[in-house]
């Protein structure tokens, strides 16, 4: 038995339900800044010792078109969750998505167990308009929006921004309350003099050796599981890093993925400490080819799907939604342990984390 066959990772329906597009065809459907702790000693052995388990493919009944919103989990981390919210003749999809963020709101019954929306109870979305020239969504809430919990101020801004910038044609967000534009948040005073974009980050952390004034933000995707351990899903983490001289942003992000998650944040390491990024190349058509090396895998070994999917999500997030091709140990034929082919360029999924209610 190869070492790879002993790895289970944390594959489960929530991860495997991620629809990756191959050549246009569907294959399958404020945390404060802090230093990153080194991954625990023996993390590779922990991965090797995981036992194979059954993988459920039941995603639950969908009640309407998929809408991805950013909700807080039990570890107070924000994660994208794709909900099947029924269509409404009187409400467009962006407004519905924001309403799904309201605690005990209209769409609370569609939120999976273990997740909560961060907008205060009673918050109403008065309007959402898009300035097409600036690609900016202008959102107006009622005054109940101001009654949020102060420690959640940054998370609320992240949830709103990442939810709306997931829609085509939206790159930034401007907030209003009862006809007045917000220039800062009411409680902790987070500045809002400029529209918010994904450069604001999400689940913000500071990597070892990086400074707040001289660093580069990169966003990486780790995996975790629902409280019952049945379904797994991805969580984006923005880290402020100090890239090595000549190192590009994508390589810096992949190195953070290898370094692994911070202790006690509930996230799982998807690569071993022995994984190496041999090269990152951008092709003329915009495709990014990532060459990895990990002696854990022998020739023609299937690669854990959570490793490959995390790479696709991480690279595309840091490369303007570019398609991604992955080589492993010099082999261009890369197939995951759920029989998905990553040898050709794949796009980031339209929807991830389809978690049953």
Contact 141, 18 (CB under 8 A): no
Contact 354, 292 (CB under 8 A): no
Beta strands in the chain (DSSP E): 21-22, 25-26, 66-72, 78-84, 125-131, 136-141, 172-177, 180-181, 205-206, 216-225, 232-241, 276-282, 288-293, 324-328, 346-347
| Burial class of residue 214 (count of CB atoms within 10 Å of its CB; 0-12, 13-18, 19+) | exposed
| pLDDT > 90: percent of the chain | 61
Tell how strand 216-225 and strand 288-293 pair up.
unpaired
Q: Is the dihedral of CA 41, 44, 49, 51 positive or negative?
A: positive
> Which pTM was predicted?
0.82
d(C-alpha 70, C-alpha 82), whole Å: 9
pLDDT of 64: 75
**Residues 6+ away with beta carbon under 8 Å from 93:** 65, 67, 167
Tell how strand 232-241 and strand 205-206 pair up.
parallel
Residue 110 has pLDDT above 80, yes or no: yes
pLDDT of 293: 94
**Residues 6+ away with beta carbon under 8 Å from 170:** 94, 130, 135, 136, 137, 164
**Average predicted confidence (pLDDT) for the chain:** 83
Hey, which of 5-19, 168-182, 215-229 has the most confident mean pLDDT?
168-182
Q: Compare 214 and 180 and report the one with higher pLDDT.
A: 180
The length of the chain is: 357
Locate all alpha helices (DSSP H) within 165-271, ordered by sequence: 249-259
Residue 312 has pLDDT above 70, yes or no: yes
pLDDT of 215: 85
| pLDDT > 70: percent of the chain | 82
pLDDT of 247: 82
Q: Compare 213 and 56 and report the one with higher pLDDT.
A: 213
pLDDT of 133: 95
Residue 278 has pLDDT above 50, yes or no: yes
Q: What is the pLDDT of residues 128-171, one digit of tens each?
A: 999 999 999 999 999 999 999 999 999 999 999 999 999 999 99
Q: Is the dihedral of CA 333, 339, 345, 348 positive or negative?
A: negative
Residue 99 has pLDDT above 70, yes or no: yes
Which pLDDT band, with edges at 50, 70 and 90, does 191 fall under? very high
Cα 94 to chain center, whole Å? Answer: 19
Residue 264 has pLDDT above 90, yes or no: no
Q: Got the DSSP string for 83-100?
A: EEPPPBTTB-HHHHHHHT
Q: Pull the structure tokens for residue 122.
A: 């009673």
pLDDT of 65: 82
Q: What is the pLDDT of residues 220-263, one digit of tens each?
A: 999 999 988 889 999 999 999 987 877 889 999 999 999 999 88
Q: Compare 62 and 1 and report the one with higher pLDDT.
A: 62
Tell how strand 78-84 and strand 66-72 pair up.
antiparallel
């Amino acid at each position: 038995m190869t070492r790879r066959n002993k790895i289970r990772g944390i594959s489960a329906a929530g991860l495997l339900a991620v629809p990756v597009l191959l050549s246009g065809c569907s294959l399958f459907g404020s945390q404060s800044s802090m230093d990153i702790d080194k991954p625990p000693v023996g993390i590779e052995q922990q991965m090797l010792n995981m036992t194979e388990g059954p993988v459920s493919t039941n995603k639950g009944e969908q009640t309407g078109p998929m809408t991805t919103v950013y909700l807080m989990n039990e570890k107070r981390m924000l994660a994208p969750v794709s909900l099947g919210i029924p269509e409404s003749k009187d409400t467009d999809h962006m407004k519905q998505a924001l309403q799904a963020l309201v605690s005990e709101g209209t769409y609370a019954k569609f939120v999976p167990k273990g997740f909560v929306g961060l907008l205060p109870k009673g918050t109403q979305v008065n309007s959402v308009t898009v300035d097409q020239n600036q690609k900016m969504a202008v959102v107006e809430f009622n005054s109940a929006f101001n009654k949020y919990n102060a420690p959640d101020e940054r998370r609320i801004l992240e949830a709103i921004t990442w939810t709306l910038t997931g829609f085509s044609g939206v790159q930034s967000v401007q907030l209003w309350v009862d006809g007045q534009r917000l220039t800062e948040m009411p409680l902790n005073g987070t500045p809002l003099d400029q529209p918010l974009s994904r450069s604001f980050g999400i689940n913000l952390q500071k990597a070892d050796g990086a400074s707040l004034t001289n660093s580069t933000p990169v966003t990486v995707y780790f995996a975790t599981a629902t409280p019952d351990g049945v379904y797994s899903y991805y969580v984006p983490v923005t880290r402020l890093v100090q890239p090595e001289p000549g190192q590009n942003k994508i390589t810096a992000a992949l190195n953070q993925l290898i370094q692994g998650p911070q202790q006690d944040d509930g996230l799982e390491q998807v690569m071993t400490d022995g994984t190496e990024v041999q090269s990152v190349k951008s092709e003329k058509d915009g495709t990014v080819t990532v060459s990895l090396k990990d002696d854990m895998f022998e020739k023609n070994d299937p690669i854990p799907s959570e490793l490959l999917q995390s790479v696709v999500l991480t690279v595309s997030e840091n490369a303007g939604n570019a398609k991604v091709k992955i080589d492993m140990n010099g082999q261009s034929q890369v197939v995951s342990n759920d029989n998905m082919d990553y040898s050709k360029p794949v796009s980031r999924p339209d929807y991830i984390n389809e978690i049953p209610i």
